[in-house]
Amino acid sequence: MLLYTVPWPAQGLYSVKSVDSISDMRKIKWRAYSPATARMGELVGAQAVTVQAAELSQAMATGVVEAFMTSSTTGVDSRIHEHIKNFYDLQAWLPKNAVLVNAKAFQALDKTQQEAVLKAAAAAEDRGWKASQEKNEAAKKTLAEKGMKVHQPSSKLVSDMKQLGWTMLQDWQKKAGPEGESIVQAYLKMPSFASGTPATKPAPKPAATAK
């Protein structure tokens, strides 16, 4: 049973060159560190290279990597500003940590205890989302202070990335089958998706009740 989720700061695009649309990323040396990022590189026509986190600094310094997706905080921690000068605040996705509780154990609690657990979970979620957003803003400020250009993406780039996202979603649905389709349809009905603001905290979940 899910108690709450807390996101890492949103993922943005780092690039050695200006990027106003996906077409500007063709042939660029793109760091692929997962099947999803490898697929992204394929879809934009980039030259995908596999580089582990420990090798990233050297790869940037030697020109092996010219662009990739990661968060503003990772940009600060990895001193990306020393090699790459453009960060596009795409807020492409929000990796999350999830805290779960064994449903059977939760249901074994009395009503007062359940309410206490849910109240603590809600408070932790609110605190975590706020902290993540604050860290994201602080990191972007630090990147700018270090000489990186922090850009708001162009409307064309945002549109291109949304189309790329839909393509990747369709890829996943083909593999996931009917169960995956039902999950996607439920997600598309969420208020946070309908509002077009995926980087903000979604509407509160209704409190769970014991059965």
**94 domain residue, yes or no:** yes
pLDDT over threshold 50, residue 199: no
3-state SS, one letter per residue, for the chain: CEEEEEECCCEEEEECCCCCCHHHHCCCEEECCCHHHHHHHHHHCCEEECCCHHHHHHHHHCCCCCEEEEEHHHHHHCCHHHCCCEEECCCCCCCEEEEECCHHHHHCCCHHHHHHHHHHHHHHHHHHHHHHHHHHHHHHHHHHHCCCEEECCCHHHHHHHHHHHHHHHHHHHHHHHHHHHHHHHHHHCCHHHHCCCCCCCCCCCCCCCCC
Q: What is the mean pLDDT of residues 181-202?
A: 67
Q: What is the extent of the structural domain holding 61?
A: 2-152
Whether residue 163 is contained in a domain is answered as: no
Is residue 104 scored above 60 in pLDDT? yes
Q: Does the residue 10 lie in any domain?
A: yes
| Residue 211, pLDDT above cutoff 60 | no
**Residue 198 forms part of a structural domain:** no
Q: Is 92 inside a domain boundary?
A: yes
Q: How much is the pTM?
A: 0.82
pLDDT at res. 194: 56
CB-side exposure of 11: number of CA atoms within 13 Å? Answer: 11
Domain for residue 159, yes or no?
Answer: no
The answer to whether residue 88 is domain-embedded is yes
CATH code for position 104? 3.40.190.170
Average pLDDT of the chain to the nearest whole number:
89
Q: At what angle do helices 35-44 and 155-188 cross, to 10 degrees?
A: 140
User: How many angstroms separate the CA atoms of 85 and 206, rounded?
Assistant: 44
Q: What is the number of structural domains in the chain?
A: 1
- The per-residue pLDDT for range 47-102, each reduced to its tens digit, is 999 988 888 999 999 999 999 999 999 999 999 999 999 999 999 998 999 999 99
Region 17-44 average pLDDT: 94
Quick check: is 204 in a domain? no
Nearest alpha carbon to residue 67 among 26, 10, 118? 26
Residue 166: is its pLDDT beyond 80? yes
Distance of CA 175 to the CA centre of its chain: 22
